[in-house]
Amino acid sequence: MDKLTVIKIGGNVIDDPNALKRFLMAFAGLAGAKLLVHGGGKIATQVADKLGIQTTMVEGRRITDQPMLDVVTMVYGGLVNKQIVAKLQALDVNAIGLTGADGSTVLAKKRPVKDIDYGMVGDIEEVDSGQIQFFLRQDLTPVFAPITYSAAGELLNTNADTMASAIAVDMAIHDNVTLVYCFEKKGVLKDPTDDNSVINELTPALYAEYKAAGTINKGMIPKLDNAFKALENGVSKVIICHADELAKAVNQGAGTTLRS
């Protein structure tokens, strides 16, 4: 079984050109097969504002009507994705930019309306790990934008954390997979105001305790839910770390490591 590192990079790093440059240099330097899933950052909101399209967020999630879907497709699948691919090519990484629609790699369904109508948002149904393996065997490094497609031929905006987790789980059928979530914090923190209060290791039991105490809350909960789901479904290791500590986290240890 080969080793594969699936890495998700957060939007706050994408919004900072210097931080993104440092991250991509570290990503390029990682040995072995690797795959990148990126978020979109604030650029989609900025473009939408220029086009007179209103941005609506509910609990940190973007409501995606058809005009907003057009924007996120252009920004995530176009501008952001191709900028990352071009920068990786300059670092001698033969990257290929993809959405879930390309090669039918990530199939989703439109999220049903319950309490909130999220619009054209996709919940992942299937990942074609064989197709992704084909890209890797051609010595290509896939770079996924968080756009999927439906059986009806619709494009769907999809949470990048969830997409990274789903891809990692399906690739774990073939490979020994490490899933790394990189963002602007040093890991999961006991105190959100203290970047040195990193929780070095989390188990499901500890996670439940920290949630009950309110130590872990808000946006970190869905990220960790995705991470533990990946562990439960075959992923070997999950790490949450600062983008600047990617190499250290993968090769030596940094950030927060999740264990089942």
Enumerate the known binding-site residues for substrate: 40-41, 62, 157
75: left (phi over 0), alpha (psi -120 to 50) or beta: alpha
Strands (DSSP E) contained in the chain are 2-9, 33-38, 57-58, 61-62, 95-98, 106-110, 122-127, 141-144, 147-149, 155-157, 175-183, 201-202, 237-242, 256-258
Binding site membership: which residues? 40-41, 62, 157
The tokens of 193 are what? 């105001």
How far apart are alpha carbons 23 and 93 in whole angstroms? 13
How far apart are alpha carbons 145 and 147 in whole angstroms? 6
How far apart are alpha carbons 230 and 238 in whole angstroms? 8
- The CA-to-CA distance between both ends of the chain, in Å, stands at 21
Which of 171, 100, 104, 94 is closest to 140 using CA atoms? 94
